[in-house]
Amino acid sequence: MSLDLIRRRHRWLTLGILFFISVAFIFGIGSFVTGFGTSTGAPRGSAAEVNGEEISMVQYALVRDNLRRRLGQQGGELPQAAIDFTNMSALNQLIDLKLLAQKSKQMGFVVTKEEFNKTIHSDPVFQIDGKFVGAERYRNFITQGLNQNVTEYENFYKERILVQKLLRFIDETIVVTDEKLLTVYNIQNEKVNLNYIKFSNTDFMDAYTPEEEEIEKYYQGRKANFKTDELRKIRYIVLEPEMFENNVHISDEELNAYYNAYTEEFLAEDGKTPPFEEVKSDVESKLKSQKGEVIRREFLESIEPSQNPEKSIDQIAKENSVESISESAPLSKLDITGGIPPQIINRAFTEPQGKTNLVPVGTTIWVMEVSEISEPREKTLDETKPEIITALKNQESNDRARKKANETLRKLKSTKKEEIAAKAKELGVNLDETGSFTRLERIPKINLEQIKSEVFELNENSTVLGKVYQNNNNFYVVIFKEKLSADPQNFEQQKEELKEQELQTQRSDLIQKWLQNLRREAKIVPNNNLLPVQG
């Protein structure tokens, strides 16, 4: 079942391996770490086995955390769905990398010692002022900065070189002709222009007011559906990163060691290194932050995997010097007010009353328990009347708008294209124009994506499309106006860009097929603890 889950989700992650490899080689392994000492206490064990070869938890954690940082750059806390996605994406990318590296070896590709050394020496991560940092610093970065074994790290690095060779081989086998590019150019750049007549339910809303008998009948027929929301109150405390940093002590020896190991971080504009005392507080702040993060993670790991600590929220608050425990107002499942993160609300509606839960939210840890539960109840007619009136008016106005649109469609169907405008005026409806658009663009004004493929297949003799189209509470009669061919003069200007797009498309398709075959034949054993819980 675990392997099936990976395979089902793999289709959505096909491009992930390309992204992962390109990032790794453009920015080096340093793009996957945040700074000195951040991997202290790094996880051990296996994230997965692929044909008997291990993917380490360290590799998995580096890729996963990098993906989370990239998503986090958009602002706000990551929802649980995004966290699950990054977990699965990281695991899939590493499995794909392993499979492609194994395939590369089978095809006879190798990484020589000279080639590996040249790549390492030219990696910007291992350079200062354009020069290699030296063997000792290189090893220290791996063992201390990444908390990895040098051999394990270098094997992982060689796998990426092997896959790069495989990708270059694939590129050499792909043929993109000018004829193919011209076809792609024409498809992407030809345009269509439409006329349309819009009928909105808002135009008919005031023409109808439901009677009391209709409201009563609607209520009685759907009485079981009209219920108040289940409400829950929670007690909670929030443990900020600073709270863990307050328990950290950095010795002078550690401060000096960091200062001496990473003097390039402190270079002034004149290229000189300031005295230790001038930067001591900055070094201390950085190391306290890093060690505080280690303590925070250990605190979380101490209650995994159950996420159900034996201590009460009151005990945890006391141990962490939190003076008071907050209590929320009654919350519904869809509550987005009051400053309570969605992860906490979701957890509140899955846990029994009185159970203590620890929930990571970004860099903070929320300790919460459900303190009160208000069960849903059936609403009265008076409570639901405004809702029922709105529903009845929407239903009736939609029916009237749809009916008017169908009547207009029937009267326009036999009308010649050049007579459409006059006929629309005779019927008292407003004929509007979308403006031209390509296959790659949204249809202006009406945004009816369902007709896009249809209208590009029509010819100049086409006129009224055969049915009324609906977009929310709007109904459209659509008339084909004209098709505009792509401008051949712009082809040469876009040719190189089109060629790169086509290469990427064919490369991605080929890699996807390879990976599908490799996965079918491979023995993949994922670490089940890394997979999302299936409800």
113-149 confidence digits (pLDDT tens):
999 999 999 988 888 888 888 888 888 888 887 777 8
Burial 309-332 (b: 16+ CB within 10 A, else e): beeebeebbeebebeebeebeebe
- Please report, to the nearest 10 degrees, the dihedral formed by the alpha carbons of residues 160, 162, 166, 167 taken in order: 30
Helix residue ranges per DSSP H, 413-534: 420-427, 452-455, 491-521
Element (H, E) at 92: helix 80-106
Helix residue ranges per DSSP H, 341-419: 342-348, 381-412
Q: How far apart are CA 535 and CA 530, in angstroms?
A: 15
Helix axis angle for 16-27 and 80-106, nearest 10°, is 80
DSSP 437: B
Non-local CB neighbours of 466 within 8 Å, separated by 6+ positions: none
| Span of 5-9, 72-76, 190-194, 342-346 with lowest mean pLDDT | 5-9
- Total length of the chain: 535
Task: Using the predicted structure, report yes or no on whether residue 314 has a pLDDT greater than 60.
Answer: yes
Give Dmax (Cα) for the chain.
Answer: 91
Q: How far apart are CA 353 and CA 361, in angstroms?
A: 21
pLDDT tens column, 49-71: 999 999 988 888 888 888 888 77
Tell me the CA distances in angstroms from 304 to 307, 311, 479, one per residue in order. 5, 14, 61
CA dihedral sign, ordered 291, 292, 296, 298: positive
Task: Using the predicted structure, report yes or no on whether residue 333 has a pLDDT greater than 50.
Answer: yes
Residue 461: band (very low, low, confident or very high) from pLDDT cuts 50, 70, 90:
confident
Task: Using the predicted structure, report yes or no on whether residue 307 has a pLDDT greater than 70.
Answer: no
pLDDT tens column, 239-287: 887 776 666 777 777 777 777 777 777 777 777 778 878 777 887 777 7
- 1: number of Cβ within 10 Å: 7
The fold adopted by the segment(s) 2-175+499-530 is Triger factor/SurA peptide-binding fold (1.10.4030)
- pTM summary value: 0.55
**Three state DSSP letters for 39-74:** CCCCCCCEEEEECCEEEEHHHHHHHHHHHHHHHHCC
Q: How far apart are the first and last CA of the chain?
A: 13
pLDDT tens column, 440-455: 899 999 988 889 889 9
Residue 338: band (very low, low, confident or very high) from pLDDT cuts 50, 70, 90:
low
Q: Which two tokens stand for residue 415?
A: 């009308």
DSSP 366: E
The pLDDT assigned to 204 comes to 94
The pLDDT assigned to 32 comes to 38
The distance from CA 522 to its chain's CA centroid, rounded to whole angstroms, is 28
3-state class (DSSP) for residue 132: strand
CB-based contact 388:215 (threshold 8 Å): yes
| Span of 12-16, 33-37, 181-185, 515-519 with lowest mean pLDDT | 33-37
CB-based contact 194:443 (threshold 8 Å): yes
For residues 183-198, average pLDDT: 93
CB-based contact 365:299 (threshold 8 Å): yes
Burial of 241 (0-12, 13-18, 19+ CB in 10 A): middle
pLDDT tens column, 392-415: 999 999 999 999 999 999 999 989
In this structure, the strands spanning 469-471 and 231-239 are unpaired
Q: What does the angle CA 185 – CA 188 – CA 191 come to, to the nearest 5 degrees? A: 115
Where in the chain do CATH 1.10.4030.10 domains reside? Answer: 2-175+499-530
